[in-house]
């Protein structure tokens, strides 16, 4: 991470960026991110926000990271889940 910060790169790291935003502001943020010419690392439980924005999903759990080469809707469909909160419930069980 430090090396990335010392070199000029187009990288955004966002952790739950839609918390406390209204719908209009979320849409504005999403449009800006879609227009961003770079890499975005985005942590979010907001399925609607991620839809059309995320092209790859990383699943963290059981002390492992699993990479999924699909969007959030494909990820949830393959997991047979309706929303991202179900992942947390399954991992705690």
* pTM for this entry: 0.71
CATH number at residue 64: 3.40.50.300
Residue ranges of the chain with per-residue pLDDT less than 50 = none
Domain count within the chain: 1
**Contact by Cβ (8 Å): 66, 43:** no
Nearest to 72 by CA among 48, 36, 93: 48
pLDDT of residue 91: 52
Domain that holds residue 49: 2-92
**Contact by Cβ (8 Å): 45, 84:** yes
pLDDT of residue 87: 61
pLDDT of residue 49: 93
As a whole number of angstroms, the distance between CA 35 and CA 49 comes to 15
pLDDT of residue 81: 74
């Amino acid at each position: 991470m430090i090396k990335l910060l010392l070199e000029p790169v187009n990288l955004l790291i966002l952790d739950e960026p839609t918390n406390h935003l209204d719908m209009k502001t979320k849409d504005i943020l999403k449009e800006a991110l879609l227009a961003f010419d770079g890499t975005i690392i985005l942590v979010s439980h907001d399925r609607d926000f991620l839809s059309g924005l995320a092209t790859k999903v990383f699943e963290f759990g059981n002390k492992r990271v699993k990479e999924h080469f699909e969007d959030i809707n494909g990820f949830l469909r393959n997991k047979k889940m309706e929303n991202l909160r179900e992942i947390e419930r399954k991992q705690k069980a």
